[in-house]
Amino acid sequence: MSMTEGVKGRSPSADRRALFVLEYLVDCNATQAAIRAGYSPHTAEVQGCRLLRNAQVADAVAAGLKEKMDSVGLTVERVRREMARLVFSDLRKLYREDGSLRPITELDDDTAAALAGVEVEELFEGRGDDREHVGYVKKVRLWDKNSAMVTAARHLGMLKDKVEHTGKDGGPIETQDVTRRLSTATLRQVLAELDAES
């Protein structure tokens, strides 16, 4: 029996939610997962958002993502280690004492992890059969150290992108929608005054 045929004791909507979870784990695109799970393409974006807010769906997605990350060895500790390699990379480790570039096989693991790419170009003099090899141009590119440092600083709480305010006793700030108490005419007048000020 396929996922879409239903399971005894489960509703078709529960089966469709389960199918959505499986499809979401493919590419983490809620809209496309909703379409592939059988929701209308016209409402898929809304349905995808709604489904991700559902506690059971969210738990299933979290469990599925954790399983996927575990299967490829992607752990928090490993990500932190790689981040540290970029933050603390030292360009001098790429070179020998005489200033020549070390071959990749001679690099320690931390230095090799900081490399984004290596480009080698052969240099020749002359043309055709008379050309003679005269050397190489070697270019190395490191991952962006600044981005790694910003990410690490955020991770350590040194940078804040969002400031949260709390209300009484640490709870949420109470807000009121004052526009509900205004008449349409008054609301138009307020909006016109704001427009005139800008």
Going by their DSSP bridges, the two strands 115-125 and 132-142 should be labelled as antiparallel
Residue 79: per-residue pLDDT: 83
Q: Which of 7-16, 30-39, 50-59, 103-112 has the least mean pLDDT? A: 7-16
Q: Which residues pair with 132 in a beta bridge?
A: 125
> How crowded is the C-beta side of 60, counted as CA atoms within 13 Å?
18
Residue in 136, 137, 145 with CA at minimum distance from that of residue 116: 145
Show the CA angle centred on residue 152, arms to residues 151 and 157, nearest 5°.
100
Q: Which residues of 81-112 are buried (b: 16+ CB within 10 A; e: fewer)?
A: eeeebbbebeeeebeeeeeebeeeeebeebbe
pLDDT at residue 55, rounded to an integer: 92
Whether 83 shows a pLDDT value over 90: the answer reads no
Answer whether residue 7 shows pLDDT above 60: no
pLDDT in the model for residue 182: 60
CA distances from residue 117 to 106, 120, 129, 143 in whole angstroms, order as listed: 16, 10, 32, 8
pLDDT mean over 63-73: 84
pLDDT in tens, 85-115: 888 999 999 999 999 999 989 999 999 999 9
The pLDDT value recorded for residue 106 is 94
What digits encode the pLDDT tens for the residues 121-149? 999 998 888 899 999 898 999 888 888 88
What is each CA distance from 196 to 58, 179, 185, in whole angstroms?
46, 19, 16
Q: CATH says 3-71 is which class?
A: mainly alpha
Q: What is the structure's pLDDT at 21?
A: 93
The proportion of the chain whose per-residue pLDDT surpasses 90, expressed as a percent, equals 32
What is the predicted pLDDT for the residue at 150?
Answer: 85
Using CA atoms, how far residue 38 sits from 3, 7, 48, in Å, is 12, 17, 11
Q: What is the pLDDT of residue 1?
A: 34
Question: For residue 5, what pLDDT band results from cuts at 50, 70 and 90?
Answer: very low
Where in the chain do CATH 1.10.10.1400 domains reside? 3-71
